[in-house]
Amino acid sequence: MSDLENLGTVCSSCPACKLAATRKNVVFGEGNSDAQLMIIGEGPGEEEDRTGRPFVGRAGQLLDQILAAVQIPRESIYIANIVKCRPPGNRNPETDEVASCEHWLLEQIQLIRPQIIVTLGNVPTQWATGTSLGITKTRGVWGEFKKLSSPIKIFPMFHPAYLLRNPVRTTGGPKWLTWQDIKTLKAELELLGTKPDIKLEVEQTTLF
Ligand code: SF4
């Protein structure tokens, strides 16, 4: 068993915060343990809690479409959340819950050593960058993750759950901005050495 799998096994019985009392499953994270790209969301929702897998509900399906639009295979990346257990009613994780849970995520990042971290939405972006700015200000702006010994590039994007509530594709709308962001991300991944397998001049947002 790999160190990452071992960590997931230990995490699956974590009792460290009040979310343990209401969860069905710990949602540790999944994907390529050697990923260049790691995506960090806020917390598990109902479907994730039921299945124990991250980003498998409606927001997860939209995330898959966004990645597929620039040919980033989901199996090539690693996906986790800032808290591993579902906050009741899908509320945002609270400060004490994030503080109790962050060591799992830090250990995951340390083991995976991604070159880029994408944070989805306010909570993981503020945690990862230390900013108090909202996601409308921080999305699409490169930053640095400095919580470990070597800095890692951070690229904040809208959470797909936000896009489900605000599916505006016209210029300047949330889906249009996400289309710009995912192309920027793909271009950076290509610079870092992933396969140049997409023509980024394709200009349409109807892919998701
Ligand atoms: S949210 Fe994190 S710290 Fe809280 S019980 Fe779940 S795994 Fe443990």
Please report, for the domain that includes residue 97, its CATH number.
3.40.470.10
CA 15 to ligand 1 center in whole angstroms: 6
> Is residue 33 within 8 Å of 138, Cβ to Cβ?
no
**Which domain covers residue 13, as residue numbers?**
3-191
Q: Residue 199 falls within a domain, yes or no?
A: no
Amino acid residing at 56: V
Q: What is the mean pLDDT of residues 92-106?
A: 96
Mutate to test the pocket of ligand 1, among 10, 12, 17, 27 (most ligand atoms within 8 A of CB): 17
pLDDT of 202 higher than 90: no
pLDDT recorded at residue 1: 87
CA 162 to ligand 1 center in whole angstroms: 24
Is residue 145 classed as helix, strand or coil in its secondary structure? strand
Q: Residue 197 falls within a domain, yes or no?
A: no
CA 194 to ligand 1 center in whole angstroms: 34
pLDDT recorded at residue 196: 47
The four Cα atoms 132, 174, 185, 32 give a dihedral, to 10 degrees, of 80
pLDDT of 194 higher than 80: no
Q: What is the mean pLDDT of residues 68-87?
A: 96
Q: Residue 196 falls within a domain, yes or no?
A: no
Number of domains present in the structure of the chain: 1
Q: Residue 134 falls within a domain, yes or no?
A: yes
Q: Residue 198 falls within a domain, yes or no?
A: no
> Is residue 126 within 8 Å of 26, Cβ to Cβ?
no
pLDDT recorded at residue 193: 80
Pick the atom of ligand 1 nearest to 83's CA.
1
Q: Residue 164 falls within a domain, yes or no?
A: yes
Q: What angle do CA 115, 204, 35 make, to 5 degrees?
A: 15
Q: What percent of the chain has pLDDT over 70?
A: 94
Tokens 């040919």 belong to 71
Using CB atoms within 10 A of its CB, is residue 15 exposed (0-12), middle (13-18) or buried (19+)?
exposed
Predicted TM-score (pTM) of the model is: 0.93
CA 175 to ligand 1 center in whole angstroms: 32
Q: Residue 204 falls within a domain, yes or no?
A: no
Q: Residue 97 falls within a domain, yes or no?
A: yes
pLDDT of 45 higher than 90: yes
Choice among 63-67, 133-137, 138-142, 166-170 with the minimum mean pLDDT: 166-170
State whether the beta carbon of 82 lies less than 6 angstroms from ligand 1: no
Using CA atoms, how far residue 178 sits from 27, 74, 122, 171, in Å, is 25, 17, 15, 11
> Is residue 12 within 8 Å of 104, Cβ to Cβ?
no
